[in-house]
């Protein structure tokens, strides 16, 4: 079935969601649910089966890159961190994390690139490149099944608060916020699709619409374009702060990387 054009989706969103009044109500922990629960049985089965999940191709490539020496230092990720199945276990469940030397939070892709620059003496990998997605998918995959604990570090609080403000801020020509969809109207249908709660439990994930793996920040930019707002630059402070809030909002839900989504 062909998807409606972006303009049709945007007009439907304005009609269905633009009538929301008042402040959005935050989803209680007892009501939190993954977008996995809103998918068809066939899509759920694809995610569960590592031999059918297309995101596992990136995970396997990430494992190769993990052990591959890079940069002028001639050092691999494994040279510093050893077996990722042990050293990276639980890491993705707490990112974005506060980095003292940066005096701010960094997301997982940003942390990988900092390691490349400072430890491997290698150039940072471009955002959304196959290599950075493969490495971040491989690292995040080691936390699959573990509950998200992002945001527990008190040093993150001012950044998390700014991310929450961005989540609730109406923007773009359609004058909609993230909260209008994912807090106020989750479970309803828009353009034939169920509106999810918007929890980032499986990034980077394979999206049928993209026919590829993509990061959470790519998905955020898609949403911002959908409401006709200027999207945040990849890795920008605003993008990381919004990602931080979304991950903290999903506390307790398990990591699914690599997830599959429509």
Can 80 be counted among the known catalytic residues?
no
The whole-number average pLDDT for the span 20-24 is 51
The pLDDT of residue 18 is above 90: no
Q: Are residues 99 and 166 in the same domain?
A: no
**Could you read off the pLDDT of 31-79 as tens digits, one per residue?**
999 999 999 999 999 999 999 999 999 999 999 999 999 999 999 999 9
Q: Establish if 5 belongs to a structural domain.
A: no
Q: Are residues 46 and 152 in the same domain?
A: yes
Q: Establish if 62 belongs to a structural domain.
A: yes
What per-residue confidence (pLDDT) applies to 193? 87
What per-residue confidence (pLDDT) applies to 23? 55
The pLDDT of residue 95 is above 80: yes
- Catalytic residue of the set 11, 77, 115, 223: 223
Q: Are residues 77 and 100 in the same domain?
A: yes
**Could you read off the pLDDT of 199-255 as tens digits, one per residue?**
999 999 999 999 999 999 999 999 999 999 999 999 999 999 999 999 999 999 999
pTM of the model: 0.91
| Residue found under tokens 């066939």 | 42
Domain end marker among 118, 141, 164: 141
Domain end marker among 141, 171, 206: 141
Residue 256 banded pLDDT, cuts 50, 70, 90: very high
- Number of domains making up the chain: 2
Do 186 and 195 meet the contact criterion of CB atoms below 8 Å apart? yes
Domain with 76 in it: 56-141
What per-residue confidence (pLDDT) applies to 192? 83
If you count them, how many residues does the chain have? 262
Q: Establish if 18 belongs to a structural domain.
A: no
Residues 6+ apart with CB under 8 A from 139: 62, 66, 84, 88, 91, 92, 108, 112
Residues 6+ apart with CB under 8 A from 31: none
Instruction: Tell me the two tokens of residue 248.
Output: 């903290």
For 233-249, b/e burial (b = at least 16 CB within 10 A) is ebbeeebbbbbbbbbbb
**Could you read off the pLDDT of 177-206 as tens digits, one per residue?**
999 999 999 999 988 889 999 999 999 999
Q: Are residues 65 and 102 in the same domain?
A: yes
Q: Are residues 214 and 244 in the same domain?
A: yes
To the nearest whole number, what is the mean pLDDT of the chain?
92
Q: Establish if 202 belongs to a structural domain.
A: yes
């Amino acid at each position: 079935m062909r998807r409606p054009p972006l303009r049709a989706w945007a007009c439907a969103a304005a009609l269905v969601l633009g009538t929301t009044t008042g402040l959005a109500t935050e989803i209680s922990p007892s009501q939190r649910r993954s977008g996995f629960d809103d998918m068809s049985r066939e899509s759920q089965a694809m995610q569960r089966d590592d031999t059918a999940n297309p995101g596992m191709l990136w995970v396997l490539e990430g494992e190769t890159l993990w052990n591959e020496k890079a940069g002028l230092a001639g050092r691999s990720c494994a040279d510093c961190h050893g077996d990722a199945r042990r050293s990276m276990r639980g890491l993705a469940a707490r990112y974005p994390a506060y980095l003292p030397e940066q005096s701010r939070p960094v997301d997982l892709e940003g942390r990988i690139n900092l390691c490349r620059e400072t430890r491997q003496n290698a150039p940072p990998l471009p955002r959304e490149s196959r290599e950075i997605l493969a490495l971040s998918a491989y690292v995040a995959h080691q936390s699959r099944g573990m509950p998200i604990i992002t945001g527990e570090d008190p040093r993150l609080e001012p950044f998390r608060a700014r991310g929450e403000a961005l989540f609730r801020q109406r923007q773009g020509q359609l004058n909609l916020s993230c909260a209008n969809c994912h807090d106020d109207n989750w479970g309803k249908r828009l353009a034939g699709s169920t509106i999810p709660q918007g929890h980032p439990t499986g990034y980077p994930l394979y999206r049928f619409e993209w026919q590829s793996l993509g990061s959470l920040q790519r998905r955020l930019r898609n949403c911002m374009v959908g409401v006709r707002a200027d999207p945040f630059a990849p890795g920008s402070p605003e993008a990381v702060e919004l990602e931080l809030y979304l991950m903290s909002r999903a506390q307790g839900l398990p990591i699914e990387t690599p997830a599959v989504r429509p």
